[in-house]
Amino acid sequence: MPALTPIILAGGKGERFWPLSRRSNPKQFLRILPGGQSLIRATADRLVPLAGGWKGLLVATSQALADKILDELPELPNENLILEPESKDTAAAVAWATLHVEKRFGNETVVGLFPADHYIAPANVFHSAVTSSSTYAAEQSVILTFGITPSHPATGYGYIERGARKGSIDDLTVYSVQRFTEKPDLDTAKAYINTGGFYWNSGIFIFSVKTMLDELASYAPEILVPLRNSGAEGFKDVPRISIDYAVMERTKKACVVPAPFTWDDLGDWTALERVLGSGNSNVELVKHIGIDTNGAIIYATSKDEVVVTLGLEDVVIVRDGNVTLVAKKGRIQEIKALLKRLKEEKGMEHLT
């Protein structure tokens, strides 16, 4: 058995990448990275060395996406899919996946939870950090996460405030977690940056099965007990809540390691500037002819498309089939509200 059992969390929707990301084709299947890989394929390729091969890699997803996952990851054994009968947010997903590992490998197994849609580089630095952190999590019975040093006062991420220094792992420093905070407003985010000691929450967690199940039993029995006692049937009785709210904001066993690797959660279209930006004024992923257009992100599914612009600044233009999105970059976080409006429009539900 490898030192770590990595689990890819691949049940999300990624609505802020609409119209490319839809219910039938959520964000983890998008091919927006250099090289043309889907996000979940890039994540799996990054984790396979840590898993000791494909047999050691698990994927947690919904039953509706199972076939699509196996098409994207044909090397993955069918039994390595952890299927949720319905989506109940990340607390249920974590509990269900951890119970699966307990049954299959035992409660001393060290688990790493990794979202399917992150950009991380370079791989060797990431591998070293995860391997060292796995050893620490097992020896100290803690739930360890990576904190990302903020580059700007982002309002789309959760934050972690570090506490006292607890020790070191090779070249990495481990801190206790003072608190987790949800996505702040701009003034609060600026205060976090100016204060120092705050990190973006990477959403990566490393822990032993026993440690996580003990903390779920203490802080979220309403999630753990139905799933442990009733299996998949228990999902109907589980509240919809994130693992941050259910456990991480309450546990005394949370630790944070400042990440030594580059990370981006690829949360919305503006992430393409950070990952693909080449120093040009615009990020152009389709033929674009423009005059006085600056700070634009322009994408089309068909490479035969031509987008022509005049006098635009700081916009996102996305063309997918018969749908076109045009939005100010500063409001791209509001796409979920736009999708709600679409669902309410007669005859438009299929577009979501």
- Among residues 253, 270, 6, 273, the alpha carbon closest in space to that of 126 is found at 6
List, in sequence order, the alpha helices (H) in 283-333: none
Q: What is the pLDDT of residues 70-92, one digit of tens each?
A: 999 999 999 999 999 988 899 99
68-92 as b/e, with b when 16 or more CB fall inside 10 Å? Answer: bbbebbeebeeebbbbbeebbbbbb
Residue located via tokens 């789309």: 156
User: Do residues 317 and 298 make contact, with C-beta atoms less than 8 angstroms apart?
Assistant: yes
- Among residues 33, 8, 35, the alpha carbon closest in space to that of 203 is found at 8
Q: What is the pLDDT of residue 279?
A: 63
- How large is the angle between the packed helices 39-51 and 123-140, nearest 10 degrees? 60
Q: What is the pLDDT of residue 82?
A: 96
**Domain assignments of the chain as residue spans, ordered by start:** 5-264, 271-351
Distance (Å, rounded) from C-alpha 249 to C-alpha 207? 16
DSSP state of 120: E
Q: Which residues pair with 323 in a beta bridge?
A: 320
Percentage of the residues of the chain whose pLDDT score is greater than 70: 98
**Residue 267 C-alpha from the chain's centroid:** 8
Q: Which of the given ranges, 18-22, 155-159, 226-230, 321-325, has the highest pLDDT on average? A: 226-230
Q: Is the peptide bond before 2 cis (omega within 30 degrees of 0)?
A: no
Q: Is the peptide bond before 74 cis (omega within 30 degrees of 0)?
A: no
Residue located via tokens 């405030």: 161
Mean pLDDT of 25-31: 88
Mean pLDDT of 294-312: 93
Contacts of 282 (CB under 8 A, 6+ apart): 288, 290, 293, 294, 295, 296, 297, 298
- H/E stretch holding 168 reads strand 159-169
Q: What is the pLDDT of residue 141?
A: 95
Mean pLDDT of 41-54: 96
Q: What is the pLDDT of residue 347?
A: 81
Percentage of the residues of the chain whose pLDDT score is greater than 90: 70
- H/E stretch holding 228 reads helix 221-230
Length of the chain, please? 352
How does the average pLDDT of the chain come out, rounded?
92
Q: What is the pLDDT of residues 189-237, one digit of tens each?
A: 999 999 889 999 999 999 999 999 999 999 999 999 999 999 999 999 9
Q: What is the pLDDT of residue 260?
A: 96
Distance (Å, rounded) from C-alpha 258 to C-alpha 281? 31
Q: What is the pLDDT of residue 1?
A: 40
Which CATH class, in words, describes the domain spanning 5-264? alpha beta
Q: What is the pLDDT of residue 349?
A: 80
Q: What is the pLDDT of residue 213?
A: 98
Q: What is the pLDDT of residues 235-250, one digit of tens each?
A: 999 999 999 999 999 9
Distance (Å, rounded) from C-alpha 39 to C-alpha 33? 7
Q: What is the pLDDT of residue 278?
A: 61
Q: What is the 3-state secondary structure (H, E, C) of 257-281?
A: EECCCEEECCCCCCHHHHHHCCCCC
Tokens standing for 275? Answer: 């990952």
Kindly tell me if the per-residue pLDDT of 340 is higher than 60. yes
Q: What is the pLDDT of residue 330?
A: 87
Q: What is the pLDDT of residue 352?
A: 81
225, amino acid identity: V
